[in-house]
Chains A and B, each alone.
Chain A
Amino acid sequence: MTKRFGERAAAVTAVDTVSFDVERGSIVGLLGPNGAGKTTLIKSILGMVLPDDGSVWIRGVDVHDDPRGAYAHVDAMLEGARNDYWRLTVRENLRYFATVSGVDPDSVVGRHERLLEALELTEKADVAVRDLSRGMKQKVSLASVLAGGAAVVFLDEPTLGLDIESSRTLQRELRRLAEKEGLTVILSSHDMDVVETVCDRVLIMSGGEVVADDTVEELLRGTDRHRVEITSRDLEPGLVSTLERGFDVGRVDRLETGFRIDVTTDSDGFYELMDRLRSEGVTLEGVRTIEPDLEDVFVDLTSREDGGTTRRDGVSP
């Protein structure tokens, strides 16, 4: 699939010849920095954006040729949108959205009750959504997406605004639906822990292209990105500044004497770092290797694409 916005010289390719298959009953994480093309890709798959080239098949149905047939299997929760009617109660929303998804709500009453229970909404089932907390509203939004029994759901930042317990409940329910009911989920999130916990597979996008497509385990195994924590009393402010210019230095802690710094680098970079420290006469008092997580892999892959400027979220330079 390819999607460009604008004309001629001003044209921007938001999605650049992206192609992938998703296995039924799997949960696929879609990651990428802002502007990577994730939302355009999702909206193109859903038909909210018409692609310039390419096609989408959902359960053997071509979305372009038979949108009604294809959309009968799909629903989505998009970030930043209410997605449901706040003046209706939780249960009324479930019934309404089941109907517009092409399912007679009377035939899925049991499913709705189980969904309400799983998402801890049973007590609020007959309360208008507008009277619920933000986290509850988020859960109602998810419940209404699952209400019609869609086989494929797209969830954009589904845990945004949820407390830890609610987020875990939601993750458990997603895994259960995928494993027991064969639900296919394409999940976009900035919360790497959620992606790492829930997803069977991860697609990482950058500059409109898919730069990685593998299981979480394989991505972690395949990365040549290491994080080391170095402690030394010989590290002084001038040297730390020099290192910050030459390496991806994350956390910097000033100690009573010296510094403790956190450097993320690949194998070659690690040797360079050690050479540099040796040439500066730095005696190492502590070197700790931190196992790379999905966030490290993400930063590694996306920074390669944009010239190494991407940094870890929440880590100050």
Chain B
Amino acid sequence: MTAPPDTGGTPREAGYYHLTRAVLYREYLIFVRYPANAIGGIVIALFFFGVIFYGGRMVAGQALTDSIEGIVVGYFLWTLSVGAYSSISNDIGSELQWGTLERHVMTPFGFAPVALLKGVAKIVRTFITSAIVLAVMILITGTTLALHLFTIVAIATLSIVSVLGLGLAAGGVTVLYKQIGNWLNLLQFGFIVLISAPALELTWMNVLPLAHGSALLQRAMIDGTRLWEFPPLELGLLLGVAVGYLGLGYVVFQYATRRARRLGVLGDY
């Protein structure tokens, strides 16, 4: 490869635009260069859906067929949530082991904005893999769903942003207590309860992550309701829950990192 010419000039300062570009490009490179993880995730997600669908049909018969749209939409949201949550919390654990988290802490930007940008990348990545899972589920079950891209992306994104907040908080706990990461992964099974919240008809659950988003997504994909057809109050609640949990996760992560620095355990993996 031919060496580019020396720019000669003074190094220019990098801003958040450069940081965003660098973090997203890094995530992109890893996604396209090492697709095995993504493919493995898709295969496992479809395998479990196959068990639920075919096993459920054998056991419950028509009852399952009647509620299959809800199951497909719920499973789609669950794969999105698990993807966003585990990728961000596991990623923080990996960065901790590699020593790159420590290195980010002492940069002008710090690690928190990098973690948030990684979160954005993980959401995009998870959308790609979950869209494939959704397409295969629709083919397997023969279900008809309203696929208004803008509405689905907007509601699903806001739904999983709250989970991203939980992932950040879990990452913060990992910074402090290291090997706890695997236990925190068990939390993702709790998402099933949250996604099932609309069926439980418990109003107070709407302020929990995923619950309200799950209800709106069901209406969007099953009833065909467009984003602008939802009452503003419901959309406001969706946005509020998303921002609230993301903010909470960010605060927990920052607090945990600071506490780890105080205790001198930031890089002691």
Whether a CB of chain B sits under 8 angstroms from the CB of A162 is no
Whether the Cβ atoms of A100 and B26 lie closer than 8 Å is no
B98–chain A nearest beta-carbon distance, Å:
4
B268–chain A nearest beta-carbon distance, Å:
10
- Given contacts A40-B264, A81-B99, whether A104 and B11 have CB atoms under 8 Å apart is yes
Whether a CB of chain A sits under 8 angstroms from the CB of B114 is yes
Q: Can you name the residue of chain B whose Cβ is closest to the Cβ of A128?
A: B33
Q: Mark B3-16, 1 if CB is under 8 A from A, else 0.
A: 11111111111100
Chain A residues closer than 8 Å to B22, beta-carbon distance: 95-96, 99-100, 105
Whether the Cβ atoms of B263 and A5 lie closer than 8 Å is yes
Q: Mark A81-124, 1 if CB is under 8 A from B, else 0.
A: 11111111000100111111111111111110110000000100
Whether the Cβ atoms of B99 and A100 lie closer than 8 Å is no
How many residues on the B side are at the interface (Cβ–Cβ under 8 A)? 42
Whether the Cβ atoms of A103 and B7 lie closer than 8 Å is no
Whether a CB of chain A sits under 8 angstroms from the CB of B233 is no
Q: What range describes how many residues of A lie at the interface?
A: 35 or more
Whether a CB of chain A sits under 8 angstroms from the CB of B258 is yes
Chain A residues closer than 8 Å to B34, beta-carbon distance: 87
Whether the Cβ atoms of A72 and B108 lie closer than 8 Å is yes
Chain A residues closer than 8 Å to B258, beta-carbon distance: 50
Chain A residues closer than 8 Å to B99, beta-carbon distance: 78, 80-83
- Report how far A112 CA is from B267 CA in the complex, Å: 28
- Report how far A48 CA is from B106 CA in the complex, Å: 7
- Report how far A100 CA is from B200 CA in the complex, Å: 46
- Given contacts A80-B99, A82-B99, A100-B22, whether A49 and B264 have CB atoms under 8 Å apart is yes
Chain B residues closer than 8 Å to A84, beta-carbon distance: 100
Whether a CB of chain B sits under 8 angstroms from the CB of A227 is no
Whether a CB of chain A sits under 8 angstroms from the CB of B237 is no
Whether the Cβ atoms of B106 and A47 lie closer than 8 Å is yes
- Report how far A103 CA is from B3 CA in the complex, Å: 20
Whether the Cβ atoms of A99 and B267 lie closer than 8 Å is no
- Given contacts A96-B22, A104-B13, whether A85 and B100 have CB atoms under 8 Å apart is yes
- Report how far A89 CA is from B231 CA in the complex, Å: 49
Chain B residues closer than 8 Å to A207, beta-carbon distance: none
Most A Cβ at <10 Å: residue of B33, B99, B262? B99
Whether the Cβ atoms of B12 and A103 lie closer than 8 Å is yes
Whether a CB of chain A sits under 8 angstroms from the CB of B219 is no
Whether the Cβ atoms of A81 and B5 lie closer than 8 Å is no
Whether the Cβ atoms of A96 and B261 lie closer than 8 Å is no
Whether the Cβ atoms of B107 and A83 lie closer than 8 Å is no
Whether the Cβ atoms of B102 and A78 lie closer than 8 Å is yes
- Report how far A103 CA is from B15 CA in the complex, Å: 8
Q: Mark A48-67, 1 if CB is under 8 A from B, else 0.
A: 11100000000000000001
Q: Mark B102-129, 1 if CB is under 8 A from A, else 0.
A: 1111111110001000000000000000
Whether a CB of chain A sits under 8 angstroms from the CB of B58 is no
Across the interface, A110 reaches (CB within 8 A) one of B5, B107, B261, namely B5
Chain B residues closer than 8 Å to A75, beta-carbon distance: 103, 106
Across the interface, A100 reaches (CB within 8 A) one of B3, B98, B104, B262, namely B104
Whether the Cβ atoms of B108 and A47 lie closer than 8 Å is no
Whether a CB of chain A sits under 8 angstroms from the CB of B266 is yes
Chain B residues closer than 8 Å to A83, beta-carbon distance: 98-100, 103
A138–chain B nearest beta-carbon distance, Å:
13
Q: Can you name the residue of chain A whose Cβ is closest to the Cβ of B107?
A: A100
Q: Can you name the residue of chain A whose Cβ is closest to the Cβ of B19?
A: A99
Whether the Cβ atoms of B6 and A114 lie closer than 8 Å is yes
Interface residues of A in 123-148 (CB under 8 A from B): 125-126, 128, 148
A52–chain B nearest beta-carbon distance, Å:
9
Whether the Cβ atoms of A113 and B4 lie closer than 8 Å is yes
Whether the Cβ atoms of B26 and A92 lie closer than 8 Å is yes
B31–chain A nearest beta-carbon distance, Å:
11
- Report how far A85 CA is from B30 CA in the complex, Å: 10
Whether the Cβ atoms of A103 and B266 lie closer than 8 Å is no
Whether a CB of chain B sits under 8 angstroms from the CB of A43 is yes
Whether a CB of chain B sits under 8 angstroms from the CB of A74 is yes
Q: Can you name the residue of chain B whose Cβ is closest to the Cβ of A122?
A: B3
Whether a CB of chain B sits under 8 angstroms from the CB of A46 is yes
Whether the Cβ atoms of B106 and A71 lie closer than 8 Å is yes
Across the interface, B105 reaches (CB within 8 A) one of A5, A47, A81, namely A47
Q: Can you name the residue of chain B whose Cβ is closest to the Cβ of A100?
A: B107
Whether a CB of chain B sits under 8 angstroms from the CB of A149 is yes
Whether the Cβ atoms of A81 and B109 lie closer than 8 Å is no
B122–chain A nearest beta-carbon distance, Å:
16
Q: Can you name the residue of chain A whose Cβ is closest to the Cβ of B98?
A: A82
Can you offer 15 A-B residue contacts whose CB atoms are under 8 A? A5-B263, A5-B264, A43-B267, A48-B102, A71-B107, A78-B99, A81-B98, A83-B99, A99-B18, A100-B107, A102-B108, A109-B4, A109-B6, A109-B7, A113-B3
- Which 3 A-B residue pairs are closest in the complex by CB-CB distance? A81-B99, A110-B6, A99-B22
Other 6 A-B pairs with CB < 8 A, given A82-B100, A103-B12, A105-B18:
A48-B266, A49-B261, A76-B103, A85-B100, A87-B30, A100-B107
Residues of A within 8 A of B (CB): 3, 5, 14, 40, 43, 46-50, 67-69, 71-72, 74-76, 78, 80-88, 92, 95-111, 113-114, 122, 125-126, 128, 148-149
